[in-house]
């Protein structure tokens, strides 16, 4: 595990926010799943967790800027540092009582992601990475999977929801291309955890489009520090701006990138 002062600040903020989400998760399981009440409840839980993370980080590092899912951008006196925060990645899972969601926190320094934390409060899985210090799950060092044969690969992705219907045709073409070549595909519903699963070797590779910067920022350094390759889905380096990712070991990344772009 990384013992730096920065990582202590980030993990402490995640754990504190996680306690509230875990309590709220216990309540949402008892709610009837419908569009109105539970959605409002989850939004309140989301904002409460974001407020906890914001206050903890701001107290420890005064002046840093923020980019947050719920509250948007907040420019601090120190514009060389920026926190990217998703207080509840996997909101739909949370709403339906599925224990696959996370708090994601990343630190960007002069335009480069230098540290990331992804924490699932239900499983108590704490994924951490810091530039030059490796990627870790609790006390275990992470490495991307070594597989290179697509026919043996388990690939992760994200399916565009109803609100992103315009993305459905392109996704169907990509999915068809990948399905024909790989062992199988998984969709867990939380991009930050998907990238951590690549870093941990649980998924051999992963791609998704239509993402926000806070969805992927922590996962980017997680994959890199675990020895993996990550680009946007077109093969460039604009993951945060383009809102897409393709990740895996060197071979899997290259082959998956070829499959989703061959059409």
Phi, psi of 122, deg, nearest 5: -75, -45
Average pLDDT, the chain: 94
Average pLDDT over residues 80-100: 94
pLDDT category, 263, cuts 50, 70, 90? low
Q: Cα(52)–Cα(32) distance, rounded to whole angstroms?
A: 27
pLDDT of residue 206: 98
Please report how many Cα atoms fall inside a 13 Å half-sphere around the Cα of residue 134, on the Cβ side. Answer: 13
Confidence check: pLDDT of 41 > 70: no
Confidence check: pLDDT of 191 > 50: yes
Burial, 75: exposed, middle or buried (Cβ in 10 Å; 0-12, 13-18, 19+)? exposed
* Poorest-pLDDT segment among 39-53, 108-122, 215-229, 241-255: 39-53
pLDDT of residue 18: 98
Q: Please answer whether residues 50 and 68 qualify as being in contact, where contact means their C-beta atoms are separated by less than 8 angstroms.
A: yes
* Poorest-pLDDT segment among 38-52, 99-113, 153-167, 219-233: 38-52
Q: Cα(210)–Cα(174) distance, rounded to whole angstroms?
A: 14
pTM above 0.85, yes or no: yes
Please state at what angle helix 37-60 crosses helix 5-28, rounded to 10 degrees: 160
pLDDT category, 64, cuts 50, 70, 90? very high
Q: Cα(154)–Cα(142) distance, rounded to whole angstroms?
A: 17
pLDDT category, 118, cuts 50, 70, 90? very high
Average pLDDT over residues 147-153: 97
Domains along the chain?
Answer: 5-141 (3.30.540.10), 150-261 (3.40.190.80)
* Tens-digit pLDDT profile for residues 202-225: 999 999 999 999 999 999 999 999
* Tens-digit pLDDT profile for residues 31-40: 644 444 555 6
pLDDT: which is higher, 218 or 44: 218
pLDDT of residue 65: 98
Q: Cα(10)–Cα(145) distance, rounded to whole angstroms?
A: 27
């Amino acid at each position: 595990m990384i013992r730096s002062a920065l990582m202590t600040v980030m993990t402490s903020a995640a754990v504190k926010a996680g306690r509230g989400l875990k309590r709220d998760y216990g309540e949402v399981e008892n709610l009837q799943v419908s569009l109105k009440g539970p959605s409002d409840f989850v939004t309140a839980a989301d904002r409460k967790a974001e407020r906890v993370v914001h206050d903890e980080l701001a107290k420890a590092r005064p002046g840093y800027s923020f980019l947050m899912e719920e509250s948007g951008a907040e420019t601090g006196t120190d514009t060389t540092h920026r926190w990217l925060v998703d207080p509840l990645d996997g909101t739909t899972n949370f709403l339906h009582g599925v224990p696959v969601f996370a708090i994601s926190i990343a630190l960007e320094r002069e335009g480069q992601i230098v540290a990331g934390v992804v924490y699932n409060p239900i499983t108590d899985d704490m994924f951490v990475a810091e530039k030059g210090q490796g990627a870790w799950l609790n006390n275990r060092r992470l490495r991307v999977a070594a597989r290179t044969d697509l026919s043996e690969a388990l690939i992760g992705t994200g399916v565009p929801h109803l609100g992103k219907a315009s993305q459905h045709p392109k996704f169907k073409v990509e999915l068809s291309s990948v399905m024909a070549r790989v062992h199988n595909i998984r969709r867990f519903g939380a991009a930050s955890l998907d990238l951590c699963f690549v870093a941990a070797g649980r998924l051999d590779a992963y791609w998704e489009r239509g993402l926000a910067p806070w969805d992927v920022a922590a996962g980017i350094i997680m994959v890199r520090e675990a020895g993996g390759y990550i680009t946007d889905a077109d093969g460039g380096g604009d993951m945060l701006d383009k809102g897409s990712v393709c990740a895996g070991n060197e071979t899997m990344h290259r082959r998956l990138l070829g499959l989703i772009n061959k059409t």
